[in-house]
Amino acid sequence: MMPDRDDPYLLTPGPLTTSEATKQAMVGDWGSRDGRFLALTARVRDRLTALACGGEDYACVLLQGSGTFAVEAMLGSLVPADGRCLILVNGAYGRRMVRICEIIGRAYAVHETAEDTPPEPARLDALLAEDETIGHVVAVHCETTTGILNPIEDIAAVCEARGRSLLIDAMSSFGALPFDLGRIPCEAVAASANKCLEGVPGIGFVVARTEALAATRGNAPSLSLDLHDQWRGFEATGEWRFPPPTQVLAALGQALDEHAAEGGVAARGARYSANCRVLVEGMRGLGFETFLAGALQAPIIVTFRAPSDPRFEFARFYNALAERGYLIYPGKLTQAASFRIGCIGRIDEAGMRDVVAAVAEVTGELGFDPAAKLSST
């Protein structure tokens, strides 16, 4: 079952499998202040804004670093120093934003639901009605902890009706699930190069309302994670404030070309949905159980319950799949033992069928029963 290639398939929430051309795009030297690189920077910024269906009133601010850097920059720059936000939490990435607010000193409230439960728009509405001090709501689109899809359009509608600003972490959905700023009115949305856009790690970005960016001068508690200054730099000179990851941007430019050639968000989302279907059906066929009910599952990453059979051991399962060229991901649930398999990256339905076949082979080799009922951790 070994895939016919040197690199493993990365069935993870990123970095993930990239195309040959995207890898090749990194071979070269770029002057960070040279016209060619500045043109590439401008093109990528425009493409990303367009992917969010943002018009003239939105701008894309690229940032050196992983997605977390972009989220931290978004929170620190757009939530005023004397403001207060409400963070919707149903997994590790929501909890990470709580931690960021603690560290950067932004006042916050938390509305937490279970990891298999999206926030209720009606409950959000009631919370906002009760608390006038909340200026910003902070939400995760697809909570990659489980792969659950949160009702972002409904959340946005409630925020708009209540006159509150919305900040979205769309890290693991951007580029594969529709994100239309016309239908999801928000102040900013953060994502990164190396998830559904199929670039490589090293660049995060925030597409934000220019009016909001313009109003936040001096607000960020950090020099390097200051969205306002980074944006001003791009607008004034086209340059990054500090040396950019040039090869990463070159890869992202190529990955965006491939995204467009594939047919954009709709086609990317359709391929991932097909991958997800093959994976879930195949794994269920072997006896594995998914953590989420089908309707809540985004076609990004699937959480499976760890079989309770003592012969199942994640490390051995992982290693046996890795030997076959597939890297999966540990679980991140607080409530149950689990593991995750991603549907995203440069892989298609046929590739996913090979993944399921490899899991079947490994299951036989290790001799555990995938359907053994789980005891909670």
Ligand X SMILES: *Cc1c(COP(=O)(O)O)cnc(C)c1O
User: For binding to ligand X (CB under 6 A), which residues are involved?
Assistant: 13-14, 66-68, 71, 93, 140, 144, 169, 171-172, 192
Output the smallest distance, CB 219 to ligand X, in A: 22
Output the smallest distance, CB 98 to ligand X, in A: 13
Cα–Cα distances in Å, from 43 out to 3, 40, 62, 82, 98? 35, 5, 12, 36, 33
Residue nearest to ligand X (CB): 67
Output the smallest distance, CB 361 to ligand X, in A: 29
Q: Which is nearer to ligand X, 12 or 254 (CB)?
A: 12
Q: Which is nearer to ligand X, 59 or 189 (CB)?
A: 189
In terms of DSSP bridges, do strands 58-64 and 203-209 run parallel, antiparallel, or are they unpaired?
A: antiparallel
Q: Which is nearer to ligand X, 60 or 362 (CB)?
A: 60
Output the smallest distance, CB 34 to ligand X, in A: 27
Output the smallest distance, CB 229 to ligand X, in A: 21
Q: Which is nearer to ligand X, 16 or 44 (CB)?
A: 16
Give the Cα separation of 283 and 346 in Å (integer): 20
Give the Cα separation of 317 and 273 in Å (integer): 25
Give the Cα separation of 278 and 342 in Å (integer): 12
- Could you give the dihedral angle defined by the CA atoms of residues 285, 299, 353 and 341, in that order, rounded to the nearest 10 degrees? -80
Q: Would you say the C-alpha torsion 308, 310, 311, 314 has a positive or negative sign?
A: positive
Output the smallest distance, CB 292 to ligand X, in A: 15
Biggest CA pair distance of the chain: 62
Q: Which is nearer to ligand X, 75 or 362 (CB)?
A: 75
Output the smallest distance, CB 99 to ligand X, in A: 12
Q: Which is nearer to ligand X, 66 or 363 (CB)?
A: 66
Q: Which is nearer to ligand X, 192 or 254 (CB)?
A: 192
Give the Cα separation of 121 and 166 in Å (integer): 13
